[in-house]
Chain A
Amino acid sequence: MLKGHLDGLLLAALEAGPLHGYAVMEALRTASGGRVDLPTGTVYPALHRLERAGLIRSSWSSEGGRRRRSYQLTAAGRRALAGERSSWREFSTTVSALLEGRPWPNPA
């Protein structure tokens, strides 16, 4: 289930500011109380894919004598994040209505 929302989760993790790959993994773990613990082989390649798609951009810096690659949202990434949030709200509202037997909420 998370797979379909991986991009949104990564974009949300980067919304507050630039982070490197491991910090993104930590941010997701911390924000989810440890429930979202994505593997390295998923997070790092996904960050590269998002950069290729123009949703984030990376920059290299030096940290403790090592090269560090940090990622930040682009304007297209912020728009994509807003789209992901909107899709998720609609999806979760639909599933909640179905699972809990509630009527579909009518717009006021």
Chain B
Amino acid sequence: MAEPGLTGCQPSPRAQQLIDAYLAELSGRLAGDAAARAAIVAELEDGLWAATTAHQARGLPSEEAARAAVAEFGDPRAVAVGFGPELAAATGRRVGLGLLATGPLVGTSWLLLVATTWRWPGREPPAALGLVAALVGLVLAVAIPAAALSVVLSGRPSRWLPAGPRSAATTAATAAGACVAGDLVLLAALLASTVFAGGVAWPAALLAAGASSLRLSLAARAARRCLAARARLP
């Protein structure tokens, strides 16, 4: 079957408005990863114009053809609900992959700080560093498996797991939340070291604090996105 083409179709401004209004309403009802939402809107925009062209080929004028296309695509709320599981899976996957990719960079920046601050003989690490390490270890024990699970649950195995998208969003939100907690612990420890433990190596401290602050901000936003995508699931 030949695909409906778009060439030779000059849409009227009113047809453009009808389709833009439909896409705006749909876009407002999608929750989750921004890139995935943009891809869905772009795909449906093409679909709406393909439908408009098909209706024009059947003799309808441009505006009526666009109106018929919008009617054919149905209530944007229903379309958004249909995409809920895919957005939850896409969001969970992107967040999980993002955390797994950036985690080592943040960790390395903190290890660099420890190595440069307490490298001289006689400068012993404070005893509280052991507590910080234990808390961070706990965070990693939650965050790494949760992030890895979100990637697995949103990938091919999800074919056999009906609850895959919901679980992917939940595990990714858990991983992101754990990273937020871990970054807060590290930043608080840095502040305490600066005030009570005789200071730290500042270039490395700025690097580590910057990395954790950035990751904290992104992870908090990612967790909210995952939870929003999960909340829209039917």
A residues with CB within 8 A of B:
16, 19-23, 26-27, 30, 39-42, 44-45, 48-49, 52-55, 63-69
Contacts and interface: CB of A to CB of B under 8 A. Distances in A.
29 contacts: A16-B1, A19-B1, A20-B50, A21-B44, A21-B47, A22-B46, A22-B50, A22-B51, A22-B54, A23-B50, A39-B74, A40-B74, A41-B74, A44-B82, A44-B83, A45-B85, A48-B86, A49-B85, A49-B86, A52-B86, A52-B159, A53-B158, A63-B5, A64-B7, A65-B6, A66-B6, A67-B42, A67-B46, A68-B43
- 4 closest A-B pairs by beta carbon, nearest first, are A64-B6, A41-B82, A53-B159, A22-B47
Interface string B9-49: 10000000000000000000000000000011011111101
B79 interface: yes
A42 B50 CA distance: 18
Contacts of A22: 4, 46-47, 50-51, 54
A105 to B, nearest CB: 32
B158 A44 contact: no
A47 to B, nearest CB: 9
Given A23-B50, A69-B46, A39 B78 contact: yes
B47 A45 contact: no
Nearest to B69: A22
A69 B50 CA distance: 12
B68 to A, nearest CB: 13
A40 B79 contact: yes
Contacts, number: 97
A65 B81 CA distance: 28
Contacts of B73: 40
B78 A41 contact: yes
A30 B73 CA distance: 17
B3 interface: yes
Nearest to B3: A23
Contacts of A54: 156, 159
B87 to A, nearest CB: 9
A19 to B, nearest CB: 6
A85 to B, nearest CB: 18
A41 B49 contact: no
Contacts of B61: none
